[in-house]
């Protein structure tokens, strides 16, 4: 994208943010990858190196060997160990500080929106959060760090300390339904916003990808910032084909200048 065209688009997006009152941001893997977290679905991603069929909820529940393998993959892989928020995360957190942000709907499981400064109650994690582990029997939650310490001491398949039930990373595995309470809250926010900003998502994973449709059908304007085209570019007010971090920082700088 030519510099002059990009600057024009950034200014337009900044204008939309300044004049909006309820903004919802939707983030995908393109935001996480800029923090060094591997993409799962893209060429060269995690699922080109491992078989997704080994990581289904059905196998996790029914097969102890599959549980052992999944725990080793999810906990010892170190995918999130050194990850820190990038410019895109920080810009979204800044939108909240400016009083513009109504919510963040994310497909990511890395907890980086909260680390960047977004209020946890404003972040709707459609695919869960890798920082937590949940008991499938009594619903008790444990920090992943605590469970990892147990695994490092020799446990291979950890059980709940409260009821000895089966523990599972609090993320959505293949074949598992998205959490309905989170989906419901995210949908309500999408339908109640006046500006919906997609950042770093190709919008191909459903039902999450319906969120911009809910927003636009309710009258919100749509902005898409992604490296490649999406199915919904044609209904967007503005589309920017660039990396998320640098563009979001420029947009935020422009917003602050216009507000002042």
Active site residue ranges: 127
Helix or strand or coil: residue 150? Answer: helix
Residue 40 CA from chain centroid, whole number: 13
Tokens standing for residue 220: 């919100």
Contact 171, 109 (CB under 8 A): yes
Q: Which helix (H) or strand (E) holds 26?
A: strand 23-27
C-alpha–C-alpha distance, residues 203 and 221, integer Å? 17
Contact 133, 167 (CB under 8 A): yes
Helix (DSSP H) and strand (DSSP E) numbers for the chain? 10, 9
Alpha-carbon dihedral sign for residues 31, 221, 234, 8:
negative
- Judge whether 55 and 173 are in contact, CB under 8 Å: yes
């Amino acid at each position: 994208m030519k510099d002059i065209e990009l600057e024009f688009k950034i200014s337009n997006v900044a204008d939309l943010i300044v004049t909006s009152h309820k903004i919802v941001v939707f983030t995908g893997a393109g935001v996480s990858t800029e923090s060094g977290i591997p993409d799962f679905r893209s060429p060269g991603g995690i699922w080109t190196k491992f078989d997704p069929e080994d990581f289904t909820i059905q196998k996790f529940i029914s097969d102890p060997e599959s549980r052992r393998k999944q725990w080793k993959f999810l906990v010892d892989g170190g995918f999130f160990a050194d990850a820190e928020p990038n410019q895109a995360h920080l810009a979204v957190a800044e939108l909240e500080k400016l009083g513009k942000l109504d919510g963040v709907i994310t497909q990511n499981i890395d907890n980086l929106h909260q680390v960047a400064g977004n209020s946890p109650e404003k972040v709707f994690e459609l695919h869960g959060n890798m920082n937590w582990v949940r008991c499938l029997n009594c619903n008790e939650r444990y920090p992943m760090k605590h469970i990892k310490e147990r695994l490092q001491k020799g446990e291979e398949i950890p059980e709940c300390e409260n009821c000895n039930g089966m523990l599972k990373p609090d993320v959505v595995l293949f074949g598992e339904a998205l959490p309905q309470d989170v989906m419901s809250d995210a949908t309500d926010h999408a339908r109640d916003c006046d500006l919906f900003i997609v950042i770093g998502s190709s919008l191909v994973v459903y039902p999450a990808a319906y969120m911009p449709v809910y927003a636009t059908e309710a009258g919100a304007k749509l902005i898409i910032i992604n490296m490649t085209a999406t199915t919904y570019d044609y209904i967007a007010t503005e589309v920017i084909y660039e990396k998320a971090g640098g563009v979001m920082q420029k947009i935020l700088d422009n917003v602050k200048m216009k507000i002042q």
